[in-house]
Chain A
């Protein structure tokens, strides 16, 4: 029998339903897996006691015949979601010791469905990064290794701990947040599935805010089916988030019919960027072929403002961040560095509490919002953002989904790309446009590159049509038959 910590969510769910094992046994196997993987620095806080208590409660519910959608399934939670009475750090020194007195809506939804909290995963500080190198709690190490090279690699970011934990079989599922690619890029680097739902699909209430018009929660799993199962439990209207939409949540798993005959798939020509490795281009072509073989039609489409997406993002996201992060002042929670006056205290607290990347972004944001520059930068970016959305709206008049690569490279080594912020930002070239336009996107592991590391393909869907997007992703997953495993698998 497969080790319990290596089961997918769907398999664990079915095993629990058949009584093959208990939620407690499942939780114990995952706790052991979590402990065996400590050198990867996946978790900021492990919650084994809570996991066992939640698992016992799940077993009791099942005996009473009241099991929910995810009853007894252990999950890891990015440490950006507030969890009641469990340390929540956002990967930052400035939130030292913060134990939220409330639970985020998405995690509350998961617990209501019966899921079990394994722990809080490591991340780039305030979710600002693509490498997980900016965490105050140290970098996460990917469970993967390059062929013939033993250097530690980054898992991608910012949901790096979540992605690496799923890849290393420490957990079958994790949640993350995606502001510019922070679920999809680490999923591609770690050879797993990562989905950003449509903006508004999942409530942002209780998620430490980075850029409020871009942030969206989503699942990281090893299969498309598991992503569908998790999204159903996470999503739903929440009156406490005014951008959360009041729409019924479909049974996403039921959408995985495997039938995409007649579907129109757009191939955006502007995503063929300079310097893209040949093997990524080749994988993209293979993706086109897989979808055509399954009966879809592929059409080249144009998204003319694609090249402006990253610079637009790097105005809007820092602007929103500079405003959101104004609340960290050393008065109500977290770190306080003393000063003689309140202003001195704020400056000392924020000077010591924020890391280098967070400071850069808060300063950029403050600058583009300051008098005299607001129109030239911030308003300009909001106009270009409208043009980027219009590109997608026009493309979706003739296609049902878009197919692109997820990231322009495989995972890099820890320490690489650290000297040049822009080289780091370029990781998100294919993922940022979906955030700017609010559209759902999913990364599916599709092949292994020359260097022995996974590559992902991205499917972008219409707003609130995660079902079609998932159906296409499932077809790619089946055709790709990706079964490579990382160098480190917990418990082996």
Chain B
């Protein structure tokens, strides 16, 4: 068995799926980069206008939702066109607990997380029998059903029916010298970092390797002792949990939930963000979220009447220029930079 060194140097580009971060070279530069990014994130709310702070918070909310989707699609290889449903479940859980039951918003997050985990796990069980496009259809059905269920009259007392629920904006606790937008920004940042840490840990653990093994070869994974049913349902549960927490945060930040905010279009937006950021690459979620939140505005500025078409053209352009998402671009840039040195 002879090795050919030459062939192996371009392994990264030959992989159809991006691998876990373990495969990429370890650079001290990365720590510095993320440190600077965090510094910018912490100073940003003190130097920008409230509306921009609000928009950035929404970006982080989407980034968390995309992170959850990435764990399912990128890491575990299960497809979902219906993650908007789990986002909606998280959002409505927070809204109903706050407005109907008068619960403090901080308590709604762990409750929504637990509820979405259970919902995702249970949905993941029947989904075990479905692969590829069939799973996509089943999750599509979930996305289409959700807004209808939220409008149903028997639940109207809780959900507010078509009108939705308006939420009171929480202010900063403990007398912190922050306005409401700044506080919610920091709250979202902190929860986002926590969830990122958790997902990162999972990906680099025995559980995460089992997820990826199932993605790459389910029969071989089973032969290695991986209980594929349990791990696939678990991946669905954790993924739904993270996206659900994003939904709760989104509801609190936007101060409003209504069925038509959670249509199939939301699920597609999350998927767009995932692909733009790079499937399987965790930090890509933030880049994907920036795209999903800001590019529609850019498209509208180009042409009010043809905003949708402009968005489409921009999307095609990005996919054409970066077919592997931000992940591929950054990887290529890092490679080139290294070669220069």
Pair from one complex: no
